[in-house]
């Protein structure tokens, strides 16, 4: 028997135990032959799709190219599965490869068989593996990150560490999900780029975002021109200005109460806050930030405040 060593990627390696020697056994797998972390051939009819699959769109052209490659060269990278019932298996990663082999008419396929202790781990593995290995569109990636946060209780920092990206990238991907569906569809269909979408996020209403999208398509605007357009729309339209009003019961008449207010706001926002009051009773509040990451954190906090306010 030939011993084989194939990496599963940083994401899966972080979730799995250190692997024993992987052995390829010819022929179709019998239930009694199943061993954790082994590489065997399994009947395709005994393999079921991954219910946690983050990919929503399978491009047929890309799938046809994969089929042609497998038909000519064979399947170079095995799929990964877990045991699922008596003699049945569930895909952990490699659903595109499984689909391609099935459409070609192959009866069995090489697969790593691993032990997955819970559905949460299954979800985390499937998402991380897809993000690393497959060409997910930006919305699928954003939804995948959101599922990791909501269903696996991972923080943005933990996700960033597992997939090898910085936290700002994670936050920006999730923010794309706040865009109206028409803009998300345009991003999925490559009508606009991530740069366009990130610029549109800065507009405060769906109506303004859709108006900007219309101008992008009509005039074939570059990302730089869209950024200029967004700045212009924010300047010219009162709706483009978000205002967070502070209400006090008795006003601010002393420096002591002003300092107390600043201290309270510092605790809420987790950064330096400066309050200034003019003679006529008006004033301004300055909330400072010192990095793009901190700005993203404040934006997320404002979104929470706005939702609770309404």
The 10s digit of each residue's pLDDT in 262-288 is: 888 887 777 788 888 877 778 888 888
Which candidate in 37, 95, 129, 296 is catalytic?
95
108: enclosing H helix or E strand: strand 108-114
Residues 144-148 have a mean pLDDT of 85
Instruction: Kindly give, in sequence order, each residue whose CB lies less than 8 Å from that of residue 99, ignoring residues fewer than 6 positions away.
Output: 58, 63
Domain with CATH 3.90.1530.10 in the chain: 3-117
Residue showing tokens 């357009």: 229
| Three-state DSSP state, 21 | coil
- The answer on pLDDT for 106 being more than 70 is yes
Retrieve residue 213's tokens.
Answer: 């999208």
Q: State the CATH class of domain 3-117.
A: alpha beta
> How confident is the model at residue 118, as a pLDDT?
73
- The answer on pLDDT for 244 being more than 50 is no
Domain with CATH 1.10.10.2830 in the chain: 131-240
Model-level pTM? 0.55
- The answer on pLDDT for 31 being more than 70 is no
Confidence label for 22 from pLDDT (cuts 50, 70 and 90)? very low
- pLDDT tens digits for 170-200? 888 898 999 999 999 999 988 999 999 988 9
- The correct CATH number of 131-240 out of 3.40.50.880, 1.10.10.2830, 3.30.70.100, 1.10.10.350 is 1.10.10.2830
Helices (H), the chain: 10-15, 60-73, 95-104, 119-133, 138-151, 156-163, 167-175, 181-188, 194-201, 206-219, 223-236, 255-269, 292-309
182 catalytic? Reply is: no
> How confident is the model at residue 309, as a pLDDT?
56
């Amino acid at each position: 028997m030939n011993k084989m060593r194939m990496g599963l990627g940083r994401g899966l390696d972080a979730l799995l135990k250190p692997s024993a020697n992987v052995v390829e056994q010819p022929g179709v797998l019998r239930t009694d032959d199943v061993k954790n972390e082994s590489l065997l051939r399994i009947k395709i009819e005994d393999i079921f799709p991954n219910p946690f699959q983050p990919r929503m769109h399978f491009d047929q052209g890309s799938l046809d190219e994969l089929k042609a490659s497998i038909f000519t060269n064979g399947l170079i990278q095995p799929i990964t599965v877990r045991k699922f019932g008596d003699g049945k298996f569930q895909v952990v990663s490699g659903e595109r490869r499984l689909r391609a082999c099935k459409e070609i008419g192959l009866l069995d396929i090489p697969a790593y068989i691993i032990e997955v202790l819970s559905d949460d781990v299954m979800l985390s593995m499937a998402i991380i593996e897809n993000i690393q290995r497959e060409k997910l569109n930006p919305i699928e990636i954003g939804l995948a990150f959101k599922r990791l946060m909501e269903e696996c209780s991972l923080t943005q920092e933990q996700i960033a560490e597992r997939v090898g990206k910085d936290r700002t990238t994670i936050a920006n991907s999730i923010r794309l999900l706040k865009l109206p569906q028409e803009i998300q569809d345009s991003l999925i269909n490559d009508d606009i780029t991530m740069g366009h979408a990130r610029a549109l996020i800065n507009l405060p209403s769906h109506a303004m975002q859709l108006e900007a999208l219309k101008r992008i398509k009509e005039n074939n605007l570059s990302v730089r021109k869209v950024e200029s357009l967004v700045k212009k729309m924010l300047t010219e339209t009162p709706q483009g200005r978000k205002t967070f009003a502070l209400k006090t019961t008795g006003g601010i008449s002393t420096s002591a109460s002003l300092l107390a207010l600043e201290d309270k706001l510092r605790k809420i926002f987790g950064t330096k806050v400066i309050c200034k009051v003019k003679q006529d009773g008006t004033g301004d509040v300055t909330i400072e930030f010192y990095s793009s990451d901190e700005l993203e954190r404040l934006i997320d906090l404002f979104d929470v405040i706005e939702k609770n306010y309404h």
